[in-house]
Amino acid sequence: MSELKNDRFLRALLRQPVDVTPVWMMRQAGRYLPEYRASRERAGDFMGLCTNPELACEVTLQPLQRYPLDAAILFSDILTIPDAMGLGLYFEAGEGPRFRKTVSTEADIEALPVVKPEQDLPYVVDAVATIRRELNGRVPLIGFSGSPWTLATYMVEGGSSKDFRRTKQLAYNQPELMHRLLGKLAVSVTDYLNAQIRAGAQAVQIFDTWGGALSHAAYGEFSLAYMEKIVSGLIGENDGRQVPVILFTKGGGQWLPRLAATGAHCLGLDWTTDIGAARSLVGDRVALQGNMDPAVLYAAPARIRAEVAAILASYGRGPGHIFNLGHGITPQVDPAHAGVFIEAVHELSAAYHDNV
């Protein structure tokens, strides 16, 4: 593997000194970019992009050709594991992801296979290897998965949900069944992320998109416990480097001290938590990633710069901050505004770091 030319993202994840705060964006390869829309049209649909390693590589690299980002993230979907378990993932225009089959009974859960990534999801493993080769050491590559709880919500509901009625009903009425499902998913996610690491991912992120929908006690039981299990089962070093792990629970600001105790290297924050307050809660135990409201990118450039400056000031001096949005960039954002954001992070953050 080629030598890494820009490693500030990996250094920041490990709370090591950097020259400027590294920045990347969740969903940075996405519909806000005209070149992405053209690639998607060529692929036929979203899954056509995901399942073609060359096209997945093409769209992963597109934002890096436009912006001086400090990391690439694998182009894929969080729902590849349930799809590989046989639930039949498809995308409904205007409605997002749906499954042809759902999970509701003991028989349904027993019938689910544990996913063997190289065998069941070869297109993802091949995409990671292809992207890593094409990056040629330019920036690190991030692999990712959905958390067991988040995957379970889609599998039980059949798609996204406003109230997670069926999922919570299963968790509260038949917790032993929910734990069986989550246990199977935790093994699959661990194997999936390890396959990505072996193929060349240099850091991994677990997206716990719906953990924030749980009560305090239920979060610990049904989401956090399984993410902790996954973290403990991941490959810790590859290519002679540590492979840092990022946990991101959307709506999880109140659980940061518990998340910091999982063994993860970095915690993602959404925009509802002040990053300075988060830093005082977790101290030097973990790095923090975030956390500008993606909607700020609809504002004028001066307002975007002011928001970047405020978040940098809130975090303060020293290492351990990876700048990101508090959730994924949205399709209607002007690509020029994303450029203003990224340049502002690099320009304004230098004052918060000693020269290294």
Is the bond preceding residue 6 a cis peptide, omega within 30 degrees? no
Known binding residue 30? Answer is yes
Known binding residue 27? Answer is yes
Known binding residue 138? Answer is no
Tokens encoding 200 = 């060349």
Q: How many CB atoms lie within 10 A of CB 194?
A: 20
Helix (H, G, I), strand (E, B) or coil at 292: strand
Known binding residue 209? Answer is yes
H helices of the chain, where? 8-13, 34-43, 46-50, 53-66, 80-82, 106-111, 117-120, 122-135, 148-157, 165-173, 175-199, 216-219, 225-232, 256-260, 275-282, 301-315, 335-349
Residue 221 · residue 228 · CB < 8 Å: no
Known binding residue 28? Answer is yes
Known binding residue 233? Answer is no
Q: For residue 94, give the amino acid letter.
A: G
Beta bridge partners of 318: none
Tokens encoding 18 = 């950097």
Q: For residue 115, give the amino acid letter.
A: V
β 203-208/245-249 pair status: parallel
Known binding residue 94? Answer is no
Q: Which residues are catalytic?
A: 27, 31, 40, 77, 154
Known binding residue 327? Answer is yes
Q: In what order do the strands lie in the sheet with 287-289?
A: 72-73, 141-146, 203-208, 245-249, 266-268, 287-289, 321-322
Binding positions for substrate are: 27-31, 77, 154, 209, 327
Binding positions are: 27-31, 77, 154, 209, 327
